[in-house]
């Protein structure tokens, strides 16, 4: 069982740390040199987890303590970012913005978006609040969370988010988006940052339809 879990984590780490255009399998059908090439993009299916999502309590962008259990009865979509990240995190934020737009009538009521910082030393509630505002986050349904280094590391370890910080403060980390159902069960993981937002939207609607 431990070997199986290690393999799964390694797969997510591999996809998460790939360059921006390597998250898809691009198969090109080559014809004559003067003919147009057709490129097919194939995205991996989300990984089914189906286990209780461990609870945690952190601080949101308004400085209030916020726990995962506070959202029981709602779908929670969770990712891990930091505000000074220049490449992968903006891509993840764009995914959430697309989800927020597509599900605007349900955000805050039936669906909650959580973006948890990997860099709590710099990402204070004030910094996160400005970042959320810059990216058009609905404060009623898209929360940005921080905490002490110890609190954040506990959450990252619990949810299998491996990271490494270099001397310049840049952070390499596993990119994973987690979908949690209304009963607090971690149902799907979306590896990397190139997955289509419509994948998450589709799975979220499936969970919303369940009684």
Instruction: Kindly report the pTM of this predicted structure.
Output: 0.80
pLDDT per position as a tens digit, 121-179? 999 999 999 999 999 999 999 999 999 999 999 999 999 999 998 888 889 899 999 99
Token couple for 176: 């994973």
Greater model confidence, 170 or 101: 101
Just give the CATH number of 2-209: 3.40.30.10
Q: Using CA of residue 171, residue 176, residue 180, residue 185, what is the dihedral sign?
A: negative
Q: Give the pLDDT mean for 171-191.
A: 95
Q: Exposed e or buried b for every residue in 144-168, given b needs 16+ CB within 10 A?
A: bbbbeeebbeebbeebebbeeeeee
Q: Please state, rounded to an integer, the average pLDDT across all residues of the chain.
A: 83
Radius of gyration of the chain from its Cα atoms, rounded to whole angstroms: 18
Token couple for 7: 């393999």
pLDDT of residue 108: 97
pLDDT-derived band at 43 (thresholds 50, 70, 90) equals low
Whether residue 11 has pLDDT greater than 50: no
How far is 47 from 80, CA to CA, in rounded Å? 17
Domain ranges of the chain: 2-209
As a whole-number percent, the residues of the chain with pLDDT over 90 amount to 68
Place of tokens 């990402």: 123
């Amino acid at each position: 069982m431990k070997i199986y879990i290690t393999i799964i984590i390694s797969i997510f780490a591999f996809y998460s740390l790939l360059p921006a255009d390597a998250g898809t399998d691009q198969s090109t059908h080559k014809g004559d040199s003067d003919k147009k090439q057709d490129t097919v993009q194939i995205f991996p299916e989300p990984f089914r987890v189906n286990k209780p999502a461990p609870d945690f309590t952190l601080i949101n962008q308004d400085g209030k303590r916020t726990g995962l259990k506070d959202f029981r009865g709602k779908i929670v979509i969770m990712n891990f970012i930091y505000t000074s990240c220049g490449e992968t995190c903006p891509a993840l934020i764009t995914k959430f913005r697309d989800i927020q737009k597509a599900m605007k009538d349900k955000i805050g009521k039936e669906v909650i978006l959580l973006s948890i910082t990997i860099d709590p030393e710099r990402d204070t509630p004030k910094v996160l609040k400005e970042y959320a505002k810059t990216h058009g986050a609905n404060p009623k349904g898209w929360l940005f969370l921080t905490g002490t280094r110890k609190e954040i590391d506990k959450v990252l370890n619990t949810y299998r988010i491996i990271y490494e910080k270099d001397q310049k403060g840049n952070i390499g980390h596993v990119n994973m988006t987690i979908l949690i159902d209304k009963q607090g069960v971690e149902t799907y993981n979306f590896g990397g940052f190139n997955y289509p937002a419509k994948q998450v939207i589709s799975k979220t609607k499936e969970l919303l339809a369940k009684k």
